[in-house]
Amino acid sequence: MFKLEPADLILCVNDRTDWFSSFKRWGSGRYEHISMYLGMFHDIPMLYESDGRGVVIQNVAHQTGRPVVIMRPKLTKAQKNKVIKTAFNIASDDKSYYDYFGIVKSAIPRILKEKFSFLPIPSQYVRDAMMICSEATAEPFWRNEIMVLPQDVIPLPTDYFTNPILEYAYEGKLLEDISG
């Protein structure tokens, strides 16, 4: 049976059939959210992610039952430990919070530019303490000089699937017994 390992990235699959979910898939791809599995803490499986409450560390339980793809970093245990420690530091920083405006300011222009390259759509990306999920997931790697994704364009969850330092590890429903 598959088991999550610390620093595994959890890509949540957008498999819903409503019109908005279909539109999101057309725009930004199959994956709608990404988080990092941190491991077990006091027998509780924990995630690092950026969601509507900010850049947080929380129980995996709220993701249980969702269709996911797990990507595993091809890093040493020491590198993974540094990334995890950095994730804790970022989540502990009261300036790290979810960036709704980042979606409008950077993600949507990137998607539109990719879909309609003939249109003169300006896109600007500046890293800061405000992060969408894919930025928050990349930030602990970037701060440890591990270039999981380019730093000059806002990352999207789909970008992680084709990254050479990540390997495909699992696809299916996220179950309680695969963490730990």
Per residue in 132-174, pLDDT (tens digit) is 899 999 999 999 999 999 998 889 999 998 889 999 999 999 8
Query: Does pLDDT of 101 surpass 70?
Result: yes
How far is CA 172 from its chain centroid? 17
For residues 104-132, average pLDDT: 84
**pLDDT in the model for residue 171:** 93
Among candidates 88, 109, 99, which has minimal Cα distance to 46?
Answer: 88
pLDDT digit string (tens) for 7-49? Answer: 999 999 988 778 776 777 777 788 889 999 999 999 899 999 9
CA 139, 174, 180, 46 torsion-angle sign = positive
**pLDDT in the model for residue 127:** 79
Confidence of residue 78 (pLDDT cuts 50, 70, 90): very high
Q: Directed axis angle between helix 19-28 and helix 108-115, to 10°? A: 70
Measured CA to CA, the distance from residue 146 to residue 148 in angstroms comes to: 6
Domains of the chain, each with CATH number or no CATH: 9-178 (3.90.1720.10)
Measured CA to CA, the distance from residue 50 to residue 55 in angstroms comes to: 4
CB atoms closer than 10 angstroms to residue 25: 17
**CB-side neighbour CA atoms (13 Å) of 42:** 2
Containing H/E element for 161? none
Measured CA to CA, the distance from residue 25 to residue 77 in angstroms comes to: 34
**CB-side neighbour CA atoms (13 Å) of 4:** 30
Confidence of residue 54 (pLDDT cuts 50, 70, 90): confident
pTM for the complete prediction? Answer: 0.90
Report which DSSP code applies to 159: G
Strands 166-173 and 67-73: antiparallel
Q: CA 106, 133, 131 angle in degrees (round to 5)?
A: 55
**pLDDT in the model for residue 178:** 66
How far is CA 81 from its chain centroid? 18
Query: Does pLDDT of 122 surpass 80?
Result: no
- Range with top average pLDDT, 34-38, 60-64, 114-118: 34-38
Residues paired with 56 in a beta bridge: 49
Query: Does pLDDT of 177 surpass 70?
Result: no
